[in-house]
A and B are shown apart, each in its own frame.
Chain A
C-alpha cells in the first residue's frame, strides 16, 4: 500500500515534468519525482540485484572482519561507511554536468539523471563494491587483470591515467572560467591556501587528528575570506592585483597543482580536503532545503531548439552528447575506483554493500537533480548569456544578447550588466563551464531564504567558492594519484624513480603529470570556443568509457558466477555506454561540423590559413589550434581503442565460458563464517 502510493506519486511527478509544456512548472516536482523513483528503485531493484544477482551473504566474514588491523581494514558502521563513500564520490561533476546539459532543456538531463543512476550508475557502484569485497578489496585494475587477463589490467591502468589527465584539465578549466576577471573570487580562492595551511599545521602539530574543530575553524576563516572579498573587489589598489586573465589564472592553477602534489600531504592537500568535505555536505543539504522552501519555478523549457546539435554551450545532438555531458550524477566510471578502493575495506556485513554502493549513488544523482533545478530556474536568456562563449555569440554584451534574443530567449545587455553588479562581478558574459550560472541559480535560491537582494553577491561568491573548493580538492588529490601512477610506470624503467618518497622523483613526476593536464587546460583557455566545447565531452567520453570498463569486468565475473540469465543487469548498461561513447568518440573525431568534429575543425582552420584569411599575427595561434584539434582527435581515438580492445578481450573470455572451452576460475576469497552475532 505504502509502496503503491510512493510509486503513484513518483509516476505523477514524472508525468508532470515530462508532459508540461508552456505552463509554469515548480521545481518541487523534480525533487518528488527523483525521491520517489529512488525509493522504489532502492526498495525493489537493488534488493533484486542483492538477492538474486549477487547473492549477498551476511554470514560470510568481510575483509574488514578477517583482515582487521585498525588502520586499513576496519569494520565500520554502515552509515559511517555511507558518509565516507558519498563524500568520496560526490565531486563537482554532478553539479557541472547537469548545468551544461540544461542547454537541451530540463527534460533530457533530468530523465537521464534518474534512469541512468537507477539502472546504470548505482548498479555499477554496487556490483564493483561487492566484487572487490569478495576479493579482499582488490582494485578495478587488479580485478580486470585477474578476471579478463593481463592485457585487460594494463588497459584499465592506462585508461585510469588518461581519464585522470583529461578530468583534471576539464575541472581546472571550470575554475579558471569562473574566476577570470573576478577579483573577489580570485582573492577568496587565494586566501583558501593559507587557510588550508593553517589548518594543516593545527592538525599536524597542535591538535593532531582533531578534524572537526579544525574544520569549524577553517570554515569560519573561509566565510571571513568570502566576506572580505567584496572590499578587495572595489579597492583601487587591490582589485587590479586580483583581476587575472584566463591565461594568468591557468598558470596560477598549474603552479598550485604542482605544489599540492610535491608538498607534504598534511600541509595543503589533506586540510583542503577536510574543509571542502565539510562545506560540500553542508551546501548540498542547504540547497535541498532551499529548493523545498523556495519551490522555484522552472524558466527553461522542457526541450530547447538545441537538441539538434547547434547548442552554444557545447555542440552536438542530444544523442549521444547529453549522456556524456552528464556522467557523474547518472553513471561515472571514476566511482568504480572508489568502490574498489577504501570502501570495501570498511564494510562489516556483505549486506551493507547495497546501502553504501547503490544508496550513495542515488544521493549523488539527487545532487545532480538539484543542480538541474538551480540551473533551469534561471531565465534561459541569462543562462545562455553566461554559458555561451564569445566565439559563438559575439564579443560585446550587445552582440551576445542580440544573438541570444534571436534564438527566442529574451535578454538584454542592461539586464546582464545589472545582474553582474548585483553579484559583485564586472561581467557575467562568456563565463563558460557551468559554475557561474549554477552559482547565480544557487544564490537566487539561497537569498530567497536568507538576506534578500542585498546578500545576493555574498551568496554568489559563497557558491562559487564552494564549487572552486570542490574542484581544487579533486585537482590536488588527482594530481597526487596521477604522480603515483607515473612513478609506478617509471619504476619499471629505473627503480629509484619508482620510490614515492624520493624527492627528485617527486619533482619530476609531479612536473610530468601537471604538464600533461596543464597543457590541455591552457589549450582550453586559449580556445575561442571556450574550451569546454572540447574538454568536457572528452572528459565525459573518458569517464563513461571507464564505466564501460568496470561493467565489462562485472559482466565477466557474473558469467563466471553462472548468472547467465541475470547478466543483463550489467550487460545492458554496458551496451548502452559502449554505444553512447563510441558514437560520441566517432562524432568528436570525424563529424563534418567544425564545432563538433576535431578533424573538421583542424581542416577548416588549415583552409583559412592556406587561403590567407588569417592575419599574420594570428597564424601562430591558429597553427596551435590546428595542432590541438588533431591532438584531441588522437586522444579520443586512443580512449575508444583501449575500450574496444578490452571489450574484444572480454568477449573472448565470455565465449570461452559459454562454450565451455575454458575452466572457470572465480577468484573470490574462500568462505569464512562471520564471528559477529546477528544484528551486530
Chain B
C-alpha cells in the first residue's frame, strides 16, 4: 500500500510539472512566427509612394492640402486590407548639435492603437525647395597627371598608365583649379624645362603637384634619356628630384618601388625591363636614392650614384585615425587594411632632409607605407609603398590628407518659412486578426 501511495505522489508531481510547463511554455501564435516582415513592407511602401518625390513634396504641404488626402488613399490602397497603419511626420529642428523631433501631422486607419505587434520604418524627406551643394576648396597649384601615350607602366597590373591617369583626374580634379594631363614625353620634357604646356592661363609650373600614374616606371623624354643616362638612368632620377626641388613640386608615386624603371616606347623600343615589357629599362634601387638626393640638392649639389635598397616589406598595414577621418571627410573608401612591400623607412627623413607628414597607415617596423615626405627646403614626395595592384584612391587620399582642402557644404532654401528643411516620416504597420 505504501508503494502505491508513493507512486501516486510521483504521478501527482509529474502532473503538476506538466501543468506548470503547459502554463508557462505558451507557444507563440502563427501570426507571430510567420508574419510578413512589416518593417521592410513599410520601407518599400514609403519608397513606392515617394516615386517622383511625391511623398517628399506632400509632407511639406499644409495638412489641409488635398495632397494629404491623396497620400492617405494611396497608402490605404497599396497595403493589404488587413493592415492597419499610422504614418506620422515629424519636424526636425536642429539647435546646435541637438536635433528635436516635433510631430507635424499624422494619418492613420485605426483609432484604437496597435497593441504590441507592430513594426515601423522611417524615411527622411527633404523639402523640394532646398538645394544642397558641396564645394571643395581649391588647392593652390596646378595638378599635372602623367598620361604619356609613349610610355608603359609597371606594377599596375590590370591597368594602363593612361586609364589610371583618367581615374586620378576624376578623383582629384574637383580639388584643383587647373588640371593638366601630360599627354606624351615631349610635353613632359617641356614641363621639366619649366614651360607651361596646356595654354590654360591658370596653369602654373611652380608649386604644382605631379602624379606619376605609371607605377614603378617613370616616363623619360628622349632628350633627357640622351643627356642623363648614367647608371641605367639613375642620373635622370636625380634630375627629376632636382626639378621637384626647383619648382617646389609634390611628386606622387602611386604604387611600388618609385623610379625603379624608366619608360619611353620610342627611345627604348628594343629594350625591355627584364620582365618582357618593352619600351622600358630597369634602373633599380638607385633610382629612388638618386631622386631623393636630387630633392635634397642643397646637400647633394652634384650627381653621386649609389645603389642602396631603401624600401622594406612591413606586410599588412592599417589606416591611421587621421586617415579614417579624412576617408569619411572626402568620401574615399579604399580598404583600411592594405599590404605594403615597398614602404619607405623613417631614416630617410634624416638622410635626405625630409619630414614625413600625413601618413595614411600606422607605422610598422619603423616604416611608412604611404606618406608625404616634405623636404626642409622646397618640394615634397608622396610615396605609396603598397604592393600591386594599385588602388588610386589611396594616392588621392594621401594627397588630400597632405593638403587638407576644406569641403564647403551649403544648404539653400528659397524661403525662410520653408524651414525646417527636413522631415522624418515614420510608417508603423500592424496586422489585424490572426492572433
Q: Do A and B interact with each other, yes or no?
A: no
